[in-house]
Homo-oligomer: A and B are copies of this chain.
Amino acid sequence: MNDEQFMKLALKLAAKGRGFASPNPMVGAVIVKKGRIIGQGWHQCCGENHAEVNAIQNATENVAGSTFYVTLEPCCHSGKTPPCTDLIIRKKIKRVVIGTTDSNPLVSCRGINSLQAAGIEVKTGVLEDRCRSLNEVFFHFMETGLPFVTVKYAQTLDGRIATATGQSQWISSPASLKFAHQLRAEHDAILVGIGTVLKDNPSLTVRRVRGRNPLRVVVDGGLALTTRFNVMQDLSRTPTLIATTKNASDPAFQKLVSAGAELVSVRSNKKNHVNLKQLLHHLAARNISSVLIEGGSQIITSALKDNLVNRLVTIIAPKILGKGIEAVGNLNIRDLKEAKILSLKSVAKKGTDLIMDYRLML
């Protein structure tokens, strides 16, 4: 096996942290001595051991003189855990092979430098694209200071998310539903507009799969939300944040706060709507690195228009509706050249549906 093959294994291990490592990156590590794998580890959960530490702890023999494969540059600073570079040096690792450097300004290339200064041979950029892609959320968050935003909706082939009368439940198949819950579990927050809450009364929790409940965020400029809705239940275990243009002097504001929700007043734009970008900055400050927008059409359209969307997951049901409510409304695009350009990452069949996973080319 060569460097790329060991890195592939490290990538596989890293991915086991999906939905748990956040807002930390997913990282995998493999230790190889004389061609044999003697240790493996990954970052299992934010606040717990880094992948490097787990791999060394799990090693079946002395790691001195070994080659260490790790998908992301090892940290050289003390956070919740001590620096991994120190451990690697102390354990007399001979060679370190790194997938990609870290964007975190506390680490960026300093991890590599300190390893090299200690006389360790370092190779970087092995399967770099895949290592970066695995942690696209983390890198985006580090590099822009904004959460990585995924928009997800189910549409008919002709781009409808509901009939003209607003009927939308079960456009997609039961098989897609499980996927939708998996997607929730992989995000730090889930965001919907008040329209969706009033119409569908969703719980916005993770069911059907194992995983953490994301923070629930409701965009509700005028505070139409009341305590009887599902997003206002079980707040101690699953917090809900309400973004509004009202302030604390409003009685509705006080009522929702008393019921246990968290409210945030976000500078409104000219239409007296909640300013989504401001809201995302607020979420970033709370260490929310990823947000899943599940609708409705108005929020999706605003997020696209403001270039806040990084990923678009569209479930296409094998149906045609003709006139109806469209997924994406007016983006003020007059010329084909101004169209939002996507890059197809994957397409997969789920039951009778197709799940298309795109990235926005910003």
Interface positions of A (Cβ within 8 A of B) = 155-160, 163-165, 167-171, 301, 304-305, 312, 314, 316, 318-324, 326-336, 339-344, 347, 349, 352, 354, 356, 358
Contact = CB atoms under 8 A, between A and B. Distances in A.
A342 B173 CA distance: 13
Contacts of A356: 157, 316, 354
B318 A341 contact: yes
A318 B358 contact: yes
A156 B321 contact: no
Contacts of A312: 157, 320
B318 A163 contact: no
Nearest to A305: B322
Contacts of A156: 339
A328 B322 contact: yes
Given A157-B159, A157-B342, A314-B157, A328 B335 contact: no
A165 B344 contact: no
A334 B165 contact: yes
Given A158-B327, A356-B354, A344 B349 contact: yes
Nearest to A353: B344
Contacts of A344: 318, 349, 352, 354
A160 B305 CA distance: 17
A4 to B, nearest CB: 25
B301 A322 contact: yes
Contacts of A342: 157, 318-320
Contact of A326 (B158, B165, B318, B330): B158
Contact of A328 (B158, B318, B340, B352): B158
Contacts of A334: 163-165
Contacts of A326: 158-159
25 contacts: A156-B339, A157-B314, A159-B159, A159-B160, A163-B335, A164-B333, A304-B322, A318-B341, A318-B342, A318-B344, A318-B358, A319-B336, A319-B339, A319-B340, A319-B341, A320-B328, A321-B328, A321-B336, A322-B330, A323-B330, A324-B333, A344-B349, A347-B347, A347-B354, A354-B356
A171 B329 contact: no
A168 to B, nearest CB: 8
Nearest 6 Cβ contacts at the A-B interface? A159-B159, A322-B331, A318-B342, A320-B340, A319-B339, A323-B330
A155 to B, nearest CB: 8
Contacts of A169: 336
Contacts of A323: 329-331, 333
A322 B318 contact: no
A266 to B, nearest CB: 24
Contacts of A343: 318, 352
